[in-house]
């Protein structure tokens, strides 16, 4: 981060207005600081320019100003220091698990799931830690929806599409117990199977909306499927479009495939 900008942050307790910031650095430097992630400390979601920044402050901090694009949240018992806050790229920020919980009802509906999924996939936090933070926010809006997502992540789902598949295809009557992100070691490399029927040795892969746009990726997938076949594992791929638009048909196919494998 630019040194004058960092000094300004220090002088104002990390809370300078954009007007003050542009008095000591150019607009380009401020933009660069935001774009390179210094002001998006955890890196799990890039914030649009027109979206306000939400700032936690102690309840009796005395901070009452409301500059453009800044929303203050006065929290009782909050102190901007460990264990409630940590330093991230030189800035004091709340712990990631709490940030994900607090942001849940504030984000647009289409953006709520991805930051949490990414944080878990990148090893930055766990569903259990976020669950603990959720327990500290009993009045959180849309709490039940977040609890459901945490349950799905705990079950092994690692993408929004896998969550959809879990809820609409791979659970319920007649469906056997399936393993999510099941780990298989082949030729010295670890492979993760999206949805695995261990008894029937069938791997159901859920291909995202942009899957196979690159022929090279398609070749990688075919090679992987062939390797799994050497272990007696059948790979069945379902495209995003079919999963979302034809969940009942996909479910029927899954049950038929599993029944056929059991009969062999």
pLDDT tens per residue across span 201-230: 999 999 875 555 577 778 888 899 999 999
Dihedral angle at the C-alpha atoms of 96, 134, 69, 18, nearest 10 degrees? -30
Give the range among 81-85, 158-162, 234-238 with minimum mean pLDDT: 81-85
Residue 198 has pLDDT above 80, yes or no: yes
Q: Token pair 């935001």 is at which residue?
A: 34
pLDDT tens-digit readout, 49-95 = 677 777 777 777 665 556 666 677 777 777 777 887 777 766 677 78
The neighbouring-strand residues paired with 239 are: 207
CB neighbours of 177 closer than 8 A, spacing ≥ 6?
A: none
Who has greater pLDDT, 251 or 210?
A: 251
Element (H, E) at 207: strand 202-207
Give the CATH number for residue 166: 3.40.960.10
Element (H, E) at 97: helix 96-103
Given pLDDT bands bounded at 50, 70 and 90, which one contains residue 114?
A: confident
Who has greater pLDDT, 41 or 76?
A: 76
Contact between residue 40 and residue 88 where contact means Cβ atoms under 8 Å apart:
no
Above pLDDT 90, what percent of the chain?
43
Look at strands 234-239 and 202-207 and give their pairing: parallel
Who has greater pLDDT, 233 or 108?
A: 233
User: Is 52 part of any domain?
Assistant: no
Q: Which one, of 142, 116, 140, 139, lies nearest residue 129 by Cα?
A: 116
Domain membership of residue 206 as a residue range: 160-263
User: Is 85 part of any domain?
Assistant: no
Q: What is the mean pLDDT of the chain?
A: 80
User: Is 230 part of any domain?
Assistant: yes
User: How many CB atoms within 10 Å of residue 159?
Assistant: 17
Six-digit token pair at 219? Answer: 């070749």
Q: Token pair 């307790």 is at which residue?
A: 13
How far apart CA 129 and CA 97 sit, in angstroms, is 6
Look at strands 189-197 and 179-186 and give their pairing: antiparallel
Instruction: Count the domains in the chain.
Output: 1
Given pLDDT bands bounded at 50, 70 and 90, which one contains residue 29?
A: very low
């Amino acid at each position: 981060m630019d040194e004058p900008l960092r000094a300004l942050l220090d002088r104002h307790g990390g809370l300078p207005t954009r007007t003050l910031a542009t008095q000591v650095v150019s607009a380009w430097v401020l933009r660069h600081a935001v774009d390179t992630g210094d002001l998006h400390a955890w890196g799990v979601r890039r914030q649009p320019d027109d979206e306000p920044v939400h700032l936690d402050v102690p309840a009796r901090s005395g901070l009452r100003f409301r500059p453009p694009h800044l929303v203050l949240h006065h929290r009782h018992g909050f102190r901007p220091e460990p264990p409630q806050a940590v330093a991230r790229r030189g800035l004091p920020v709340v712990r990631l698990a709490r940030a994900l919980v607090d942001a849940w009802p504030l984000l647009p509906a289409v953006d709520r799931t991805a930051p949490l999924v990414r944080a878990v996939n990148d090893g930055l936090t766990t569903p259990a830690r976020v669950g603990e933070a959720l327990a500290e926010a009993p009045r959180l809006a849309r709490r039940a929806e977040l609890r459901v997502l945490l349950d799905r992540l705990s079950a092994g789902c690692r993408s929004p599409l896998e969550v959809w598949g879990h809820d609409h295809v791979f659970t319920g009557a007649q469906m056997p117990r399936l393993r999510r992100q099941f780990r298989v070691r082949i030729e010295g490399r670890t492979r993760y199977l999206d949805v695995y029927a261990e008894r029937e040795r069938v791997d159901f892969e859920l291909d995202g909306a942009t899957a196979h746009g690159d022929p090279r990726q398609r070749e990688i997938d075919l090679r992987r499927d062939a390797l799994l076949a050497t272990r007696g594992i059948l790979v069945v791929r379902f495209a995003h479009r079919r999963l979302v638009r034809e969940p009942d048909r996909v479910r029927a196919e899954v049950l038929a495939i599993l029944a056929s494998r059991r009969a062999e």
